[in-house]
Amino acid sequence: MEMMTKKERVMVAIKKQDVDRVPFGMWYHVPHVDQDPVELAEIQIQQAHCYDLDFIKLMPFGNYGAHDYELSCTFYCTKDKPVFERKFAIDDPKEWTELEPLPGYFGNHGKYVLLARQVKKQLKGEEIPFIQTIFSPLTTAKKLAGPKVFEHMRSHPEYLHQALAAITETTINFVKLNIEEGVDGFFFATQCANKEWVTEDEYEEFGVKYDLQVMDSYKDITYFNVLHIHGDNTMFEKLATKYPCNCINWHDRWAKPTMVEARKISDKCFLGGINEKWLATAKGQKKYEIT
């Protein structure tokens, strides 16, 4: 078999056809540069060249969307301390009704539209697929209120629905601008499809409803669309079979299901194989938070 380009390798793997080798990718936060989209683009491209990565997952800081909705964060700007929430934005349930849709170029969202633009520019025609990181609306809501979001979900569902609709519109606005900048797809992360926090019926109402609106905005436009199911005790089967993605990522080295078990649930392309918990604690390794 002839050697494939990185784009060819990714596209063929997504289609579950034979590849010259398994596509390889990895990602970690780089908090010393992630407030500067130009330098972040430089670093991520350098990483791709250094490790011969087959794709780039863009790495905005994890709270970027919530920060635009007034989550207070501490920015350490060092190599080993990612941005961390300092004070939640939502305390009283009524505050959910104050959230409004934001333009896709507002605040951090605009900063990471520029990141996509810079990666495209700095690659100078080199065909390395790159995908933008986005979060499910309920995940952003959890970042805004912490565990209280689940209390408010049950005590004032109408307030939370109003907020989720606004966050969804903001996310779609951001998606559209990233598509204009040439991203090859999206890494859609949900951190709330967790049975320890919500029931499947609750996630259907407050998660799936809004997740699908976001995913429908790009599913037929970009070709490399990853669903990231975060954490343990997740609703893997519900999401893997229902969500319009062509690649699924989860913590397969330490969270259920295993890849063998997952293959009985879904025939989609799987992205996994690295135990990031071990990488974050191994002696002699720099401790980066991998998400």
Q: Are 101 and 107 within 8 A, CB to CB?
A: no
Q: What does the alpha-carbon distance between residue 171 and residue 180 come to, in Å, rounded to a whole number? A: 14
pLDDT given at position 288: 43
The pLDDT of 168-189, averaged and rounded, is: 98
List, for residues 8-65, the tens digit of each pLDDT value: 999 999 999 999 999 999 999 999 999 999 999 999 999 999 999 999 999 999 999 9
pLDDT given at position 205: 98
Q: Is 45 helix (H, G, I), strand (E, B) or coil?
A: helix
Tell me which residue of 127, 133, 84, 98 sits closest to 113, measured CA to CA: 133
Amino acid at 66: A
- Of how many residues is the chain composed? 291
- Bridge partners (DSSP) of residue 133 are 187
Question: How many other CB atoms are there within 10 angstroms of residue 149's CB atom?
Answer: 26
pLDDT given at position 276: 83
Q: Could you tell me whether strands 72-74 and 84-87 are parallel, antiparallel, or unpaired per DSSP bridges?
A: antiparallel
Q: What does the alpha-carbon distance between residue 220 and residue 244 come to, in Å, rounded to a whole number? A: 9
Tell me which residue of 218, 231, 38 sits closest to 131, measured CA to CA: 218
Tokens of 251: 């913590």
List, for residues 137-177, the tens digit of each pLDDT value: 999 999 999 999 999 999 999 999 999 999 999 999 999 99
- The answer to which of 47-56, 60-69, 77-86, 184-193 has the lowest mean pLDDT is 77-86
R_g of the chain, CA atoms, integer Å: 18
Mean pLDDT of the chain: 95
Q: Are 106 and 68 within 8 A, CB to CB?
A: yes
Q: What does the alpha-carbon distance between residue 270 and residue 142 come to, in Å, rounded to a whole number? A: 27
Q: Is 132 helix (H, G, I), strand (E, B) or coil?
A: strand
pLDDT given at position 279: 67
Q: Could you tell me whether strands 247-250 and 269-271 are parallel, antiparallel, or unpaired per DSSP bridges?
A: parallel
Q: By percentage, how much of the chain surpasses pLDDT 70? A: 96
The pLDDT of 74-86, averaged and rounded, is: 94
Burial class (CB in 10 A: 0-12, 13-18, 19+), 55: buried
Q: What does the alpha-carbon distance between residue 1 and residue 102 come to, in Å, rounded to a whole number? A: 48
Rounded to the nearest 10 degrees, the angle between the axes of helix 148-155 and helix 137-145 is 110
Q: pLDDT band for position 290 (50/70/90)?
A: very low
Q: What does the alpha-carbon distance between residue 185 and residue 173 come to, in Å, rounded to a whole number? A: 15
The pLDDT of 198-211, averaged and rounded, is: 98
Q: What does the alpha-carbon distance between residue 139 and residue 146 come to, in Å, rounded to a whole number? A: 10
Whether 210 has a pLDDT exceeding 70, the answer reads yes
Q: Are 4 and 12 within 8 A, CB to CB?
A: yes
Q: Are 246 and 77 within 8 A, CB to CB?
A: no
pLDDT given at position 274: 87
Whether 280 has a pLDDT exceeding 70, the answer reads no
All domains of the chain in start order, with CATH: 6-281 (3.20.20.210)
Peptide bond into 244 cis (omega under 30): no
